[in-house]
Structure 1
């Protein structure tokens, strides 16, 4: 399952970001975290890609998950 590249766009004060990261760790997955509050270029890229200004946004391969949507994450990863 870890052959899929996972990137999570976050901010330090976002409780759903913390939950999403915790869940991915529970699944034993590695991911790249991008703090959009400290990286304005990444924040702009995220808005262009998804139209979203809120976090978390999780990129799993070429699929986007808006918010901590556990069911969608599971579906994309083939979990359960």
Structure 2
């Protein structure tokens, strides 16, 4: 099923970030996790892409999802 690049912009203390990452793991999908609390440039990139400062911001291919929206994730992944 891994046919698209997945990036999760997150922080260690964010429960919704953990849910998103655990969900991708449960599907057996690889993803890149970027801790925006430690990477200022990545945080700026995330805000530029999403217009939001909150996490998680999930990038699936060229689509951006703000928050853990399982329905949107499933739709983009074709699950």
Same fold (TM over 0.5): yes
Q: How do residues 54-73 of structure 1 correspond to structure 2 at under 5 angstroms? A: 54-73=54-73
CA distance in 1 between counterparts of 2:45 and 2:63 reads 15
Q: How do residues 17-56 of structure 1 correspond to structure 2 at under 5 angstroms? A: 17-56=17-56
CA distance in 1 between counterparts of 2:67 and 2:50 reads 12
Under a length normalisation based on structure 1, what TM-score does the superposition of the two structures give?
A: 0.96
Two-structure CA RMSD over aligned residues (Å) = 0.6
CA distance in 2 between counterparts of 1:9 and 1:63 reads 13
Residue 8 of structure 1: CA displacement? 0.2
Q: List structure 1 runs of 4+ shifted beyond 2 angstroms.
A: none
Count of residue correspondences: 79
Under a length normalisation based on structure 2, what TM-score does the superposition of the two structures give?
A: 0.97
